[in-house]
Each structure stands twice: as C-alpha cells, then as structure tokens.
Amino acid sequence: MKVAVVEGDGIGPEVIPPACRLLEVIRPDIEFFPVEVGYGRWVRSGEAVTDEDISLLASADAILFGAVTTPPDPGYKSVIVRIRKELDLYANIRPVWGEGFDIIVVRENTEGLYSGIEKIEADSACTLRCLTRKGSERIARHACKLAGSRRNLTIGHKANVLKSDVFFRDICIGVAREHLVSFRECYIDSLCLDVLMHPERYDIIVTTNMFGDILSDVTAYLVGGLGLLPSGNIGDGHALFEPVHGSAPDIAGSDTANPIAAMRSAAMLLAFTGDEESSGLIEQAVKNTLACGIRTRDLGGTCGTKDFSKKVCNELIALLKCV
Ligand code: NAI
Ligand code: MG
C-alpha cells in the first residue's frame, strides 16, 4: 500500500510524523512518500499546490494530511478545498465519540458555500452557495449507508431561510425514505446547541459543507477539544485522512500540540483500507496512554508532543507483543 504524507504547516510537521511512526510499527509494508504543499511552499516558490502535486496525491492508495495555513492574501485559494474538489472527496466523515454518545458528522465536501465561485469588489462581496442534485444525493446516500437500519439520521439545515437548503433537505429526506433509514431534520443553529446538551440523541448527522465544518468543531467540545478529532475525506476513487483541527500557528513549534487527532486519522486510514484490526490497536494504544493519566496540555496535562507520542508508540509495541 502506498500512502502519501502531507505534513503541511504549523503543527502539521509535529503531529504527522508520530502518526506515521504508528503506521510504520503496525504495518511495515506501507510505502510512504512525502508531498509538500501549503503556506511554506507558497512562500518559497509562489505556489501552494501544483497540478503535479495533485497527480502525486491521486497516485496514492490513501493520503495522510496534516494541515495547511491560509495566508492573508485574497488571491490565495484554499489548498485543502482544492484537493478535496480535484480528487472529488465528497464525503467528509467526522466521528466524535465518548461516554454515552457516538456521533458521526457527515459533511458534504465539494460544494455549498465552499464552491469557490466568489468575488470581492470595492463595496461588495459575494460567495455563491451552489448545491447540486448529484452532490446532495451522493452525500445523503453515504450518510444513509453509515446509518444502516440501526442508527438514526439527522439532517442539519437552514431551510427556514435558505432555498438551497430546502433543496438539500428534500433530497436527503427522499434518499432516507428510499433506504428505509429513520430520520429527523433540525435547523443547524438549534442543532449546534442540542448536540452539546443531548449528544446521546444523535447518531449520524448529514449536512452541507460549511455547516458541517462548524458543527464538527462544535462537537469537539464534547470530547475536550480539537486535538482529539480525526476525519476522513472520502471519494469514489481516493481518500484523505486528516485531523479536524487546522495548523494551530498559536502553538506551532512549542511541543504542546496533541497528536491524537493525527494518530486517529491514521487509524481511520487503516480501517478504510480494510485493516480494522490495526486500526483498533492504534485506538487502543491511545486509550491506554490516556488511561495512565498521561495528557498533553490541551487536556490539562504537562506531557509534550514528542514524549506523548513516544508513550503511545510504546503502548502500541506492547499491544503487538500480546497479539
Ligand atoms: P486550528 O484548528 O488550527 O486552531 C484552533 C485552536 O485549537 C487553537 O487555539 C489551537 O492552538 C488549538 N488546537 C488545534 N489543534 C490542536 C492540537 N492538535 N493540540 C492542541 N491544541 C490544538 O484553527 P484556526 O486557528 O482557526 O486556524 C489556523 C490555521 O489553520 C488557519 O490558517 C486556517 O486556515 C488553517 N486551517 C486549515 C485546515 C486544513 O488544512 N484542513 C483546517 C482548519 C484550519
Ligand atoms: Mg474546520
């Protein structure tokens, strides 16, 4: 299996190597190759991501991605949004689980407010929120597959204000009925509060691009922060796994970033490629480390990124000896 590795900017180069290390330990057969994209690359070469980079990423069986910093330049287009679009990674899967709840946010990942159709003029600015039947149907189908017959689907939208969300909601309802999935619908703003107050009421939540982006950061509150949440960007031909968090420039270089989100993204990558067992072992190694009371600063601990990563790796090696 060939895995493309993008460390990216900020804390990316601090959290991705330890995640790769776990993959190396558990799956020595994986062939890694680096792809450099992002702000640092843009500063040096004037280009944040090129067509060749996209082709390289497309040649991998799966991609492990850190995060990319968005420069303060209105001409700069988001690197990750471009990669998601060009590889058609239409389903952004963001699981968040804890005591008494197990939620998956399924975010449409290629259209909506992140359509890229926009302009800024002297006295006005406009971003087009484009949704298509094809895009809405396929994300609804993906969510229904995850829901199956056992789990409930919540459709998050703002159809009381946005016509595009009347369109999205109605398509999701149609697909849910077709798949015999039990569903309810909810306005996204009240959903953001209710998911925090009653997380146990939710299973699969499907929503549009920006609402899903916001909702997944909101749900991070349930588990103690962004340092814990992984995600998968899945298409029919490619898949990219990355932490939900960004490049966190405020803590970059300070050895305080929590690498768990990156490690769990690596675990999601393995599960996606069919290796559920190795994926479960990475998850267990993280769990065992936390159970020893070892934590990074964001979770109230004092352990640095490097030491924490070493501890998880040692846990994984110990688990492998028992298998
Ligand atoms: P962020 O997710 O990078 O950081 C938000 C807050 O959470 C910060 O206080 C940060 O220190 C903290 N945090 C994030 N990850 C953490 C970790 N692993 N351990 C401990 N603390 C952590 O979001 P922000 O600040 O809005 O964006 C920073 C940059 O990242 C921006 O340039 C943004 O465009 C970019 N970004 C890139 C993404 C991607 O490449 N997929 C996704 C989100 C943001
Ligand atoms: Mg985000």
Protein residue whose Cα sits closest to atom 22 of ligand 1: 227
Closest among 283, 90, 98 to 200, alpha carbons compared: 98
Inter-residue contact 242 to 291 (CB < 8 Å): no
Give the torsion through C-alpha atoms of 317, 63, 297, 276, to 10 deg: -40
CA of 94 to the centre of ligand 1 (A): 16
Contact 92 CB / ligand 1 (< 6 Å): no
Q: Any idea which ligand is nearest the CA of 295?
A: 1
Cα(28)–Cα(11) distance, integer angstroms: 25
Q: Rounded CA gap, 56 and 292, in Å?
A: 40
Task: Indicate if the pLDDT at residue 166 is higher than 90.
Answer: yes
Tens digit of each residue's pLDDT (9 = 90 or more) over 55-112: 999 999 999 999 999 877 777 788 999 999 999 999 999 999 999 999 999 999 999 9
- Residue to substitute in 226, 260, 264, 299 for testing ligand 1 pocket (most ligand atoms within 8 angstroms of CB): 226
**244 C-alpha to center of ligand 2: Å?**
6
For position 188, what pLDDT does the model report?
98
Q: Is 204 close to ligand 1, i.e. is its CB under 6 Å away?
A: no
Amino acid at 14: E
Query: What residue owns the CA closest to ligand 1's atom 38?
Result: 246
Give yes or no for a contact between 23 and 39, defined as CB atoms under 8 angstroms apart. no
**Over 215-253, what HEC string results?**
HHHHHHHHHCCHHHCEEEEECCCCEEEEECCCCCCCCCC
**Separation between Cα atoms, residue 102 and residue 156, nearest integer Å:** 17
Q: What pLDDT, on a 0 to 100 scale, did the predictor assign at position 323?
A: 78
241 near 205, Cβ under 8 Å?
no
Tell me the pLDDT tens digit for each residue of 188-242: 999 999 999 999 999 999 999 999 999 999 999 999 999 999 999 999 999 999 9
pLDDT band at 149 (very low <50, low <70, confident <90, very high): confident
- Calpha distance 241→230 (Å, rounded): 7
Query: 161 and 187 in contact (C-beta within 8 Å)?
Result: no
Q: Residue 261: CB within 6 Å of ligand 1?
A: yes
- Dist. CA 226 → ligand 1 center (Å): 8
**71 sits in which H/E element:** none
Choose which residue among 42, 245, 303 to substitute to test ligand 1 binding: the one with the highest number of ligand atoms within 8 A of its C-beta.
Answer: 245
User: How remote is the CA of residue 281 from the centroid of ligand 2, in Å?
Assistant: 27
Helix (H), strand (E) at residue 273: none
Distance of alpha carbon 91 from alpha carbon 74, whole angstroms = 27
Q: List the residue whose alpha carbon is closest to atom 16 of ligand 1.
A: 227
- Average pLDDT of the chain is 96
Pull the structure tokens for residue 196.
């925090």
pLDDT at residue 116 above 90? no
Are 168 and 136 a contacting pair, CB within 8 Å?
A: yes
Could you tell me the distance, in angstroms and rounded to a whole number, from the CA of residue 184 to the centre of ligand 2?
25
Ligand 1 and 66: CB distance under 6 A: no
**Residue 278 confidence class, pLDDT cut points 50, 70, 90:** very high
CB distance 248 to ligand 1 below 6 Å: yes
pLDDT the model gives residue 248: 97
Q: Is the dihedral of CA 191, 193, 194, 200 positive or negative?
A: positive
3-state secondary structure of 63: strand
What is the structure's pLDDT at 37?
Answer: 95
DSSP code of residue 75: T
Q: How far apart are CA 206 and CA 67, in angstroms?
A: 23
**Interval 60-76: pLDDT, tens:** 999 999 999 987 777 77
Tokens of 111: 């259209």
**251 close to ligand 1 (CB < 6 Angstrom):** yes
pTM (2 decimals)? Answer: 0.96
Residue 71 has a pLDDT of 77
Count the Cβ atoms, other than its own, within 10 Å of residue 59.
12
The residue among 139, 201, 127, 213 whose CA lies nearest residue 169 is 139
Residue 155 beta carbon below 6 angstroms from any ligand 1 atom = no
Name all domains of the chain by residue range, CATH numbers in brackets.
Answer: 1-89+235-323 (3.40.718.10), 92-225 (3.40.718.10)
Distance in angstroms (rounded) separating the CA atoms of residues 149 and 193: 26
